[in-house]
Structures are given as C-alpha cells and as structure tokens.
Amino acid sequence: MNRTSNSLFDRLKAACGADWQAYTGHDFVRQLAAGTLPEAAFRHYLGQDYLFLIHFARAYALAAYKTTNLAEMRSAVASVHGILNVEMALHVDYCQGWGLNEAAMTALPEAKATMAYTRFVLESGMAGDSLDLYAALAPCVIGYGEIGTALAADPATVMGGNPYASWIEMYASPDYQAVAIAAVAQLDRLAEQRLTPARFEALARTFHQATRLEADFWQMGLLQAP
C-alpha cells in the first residue's frame, strides 16, 4: 500500500505494538498464504464476514448521523451505498463458489467474536464522534489492504493452485488499495479538525482494542468457533 508515512493511522499502528503483528501475521493469514487453511475454516469465516458487513454498513450510517459536515456525510453515505449495493453483492458471488448462498448466510447465528467486534465498533461511534468511529474501523479497512499487499509481495506466498489466491488478489488489487488509502486520508482529515495531544491516547486504546478483536475474528474462523 503505497502512501505517505506519518499519518494518524501510522501513529496508531505504532502505538499498537505487537498486537498489530499478531493480527496481520495471524495463523489464519499465514495458512491462507500457504493454501493450507482448512476449507471449513474459510467457509465459517466467509459466513461471519457477511454478517460483519451488515454491521459495517450500520457503522457508516452512524458516521453520517454523527456529523453535520456535508462532505463527511456524503462520504459516509457513499460508503453505506458501496457496502449494501456493491460489496455485499460481490461477497455473495464469491461465497457461492464456496457453497454458501445469501439466504444461508443471513440465517447464520452470529459468532461471539463477530458480536464482540461489531458491537465494539458501533459503541465506539455512539459514545464518541466520527473520529472515534473511524479509528475503530481502521484496523479492518486499512489492515486488510496491508495484509493483501504483504501477501502478494511475499515470495513465500503460494499463488499457483492456492484456493485462496483470489482472496489475496482481491485485497491486493488497485481497487481495494484505493479504498485503504482513502481511509488513511479520511482519518487524517478528521484528525485535523478534532485531534488534540490529550485525545491521542484514547484513540490509540480504541484502535488497539479493535486490532485485538480483528485477531479474535481470524481465530474464530480458524477454530470454527460459535
């Protein structure tokens, strides 16, 4: 993910310590790269990721509500539209290749890790402002971009014959990298308006907790945990 450094995202990631590596280098990710992840684990992850996307859309709808800035509002509403009308359709099409249809995924019970993560993100936004909310969303939106880039660039990643190669390519693609870069820029724009030195520590705690919950989400998929 090519971008300038010293962004708020970089500062938050640096404050996250070893937990960022535990998330981006999780066993689930390493097994994806090697093509050795059990298919049942990947299907479980995909189903829960569909449920996650529903709450992701709710989070961006909350971001629109939490601001009176028209530019921010339009950006948040565009994200809601993109998730509900583009990303979810793409996700459903992808999941069909793994034997999962939309009706079956809609009927799935939420795993504990899904509930913990999505409710944390929503609570962060409800208790704070849009900067708090976007800090909670950043490990997912931007982190997946970093993971995709790192896996695609790593010569140890198996692409030929890897059933998960298309997943890696999706998050390494220019389209997704543009999404991640835009999320970095959005954080910086909000920081210009609202960040103070005293507030950084609270944002870092939010980012850190969301990162830990991302790792838990991988672990949920790996263990096929309910």
pLDDT digits (tens, 9 = 90+) for 81-133: 999 999 999 999 999 999 999 999 999 999 999 999 999 999 999 999 999 99
Residue 3 has pLDDT above 60, yes or no: no
- Catalytic residue from among 16, 72, 95, 140: 140
Question: How is domain 8-223 classified at the CATH fold level?
Answer: Heme Oxygenase; Chain A (1.20.910)
- pLDDT in the model for residue 71: 92
- pLDDT in the model for residue 6: 87
Burial (CB count within 10 angstroms: exposed 0-12, middle 13-18, buried 19+), residue 127: exposed
- Mind spelling out the 3-state secondary structure of 65-100? HCCCCHHHHHHHHHHHHHHHHHHHHHHHHHHHCCCC
- Of 139, 129, 133, give the one whose Cα is nearest residue 194: 129
> Where does the pLDDT of residue 7 fall: very low under 50, low under 70, confident under 90, or very high at 90 and above?
very high
Residue 30 makes CB contacts below 8 A (sequence gap 6+) with: none
- Of 9, 53, 22, give the one whose Cα is nearest residue 213: 22
State yes or no: is 95 an active-site residue: no
Residue 1 has pLDDT above 70, yes or no: no
| 196 three-class SS | coil
Average pLDDT over residues 166-187: 96
- pLDDT in the model for residue 2: 55
Average pLDDT over residues 165-176: 96
Average pLDDT over residues 200-221: 98
- Of 53, 1, 41, give the one whose Cα is nearest residue 24: 1
Residue 32 has pLDDT above 90, yes or no: yes
Residue 45 has pLDDT above 70, yes or no: yes
- Catalytic residue from among 72, 95, 146, 214: 214
State yes or no: is 214 an active-site residue: yes
Residue 198 has pLDDT above 70, yes or no: yes
Average pLDDT over residues 49-74: 96
pTM of the entire structure?
A: 0.94
Average pLDDT over residues 31-38: 98
- pLDDT in the model for residue 81: 95
| 129 three-class SS | coil
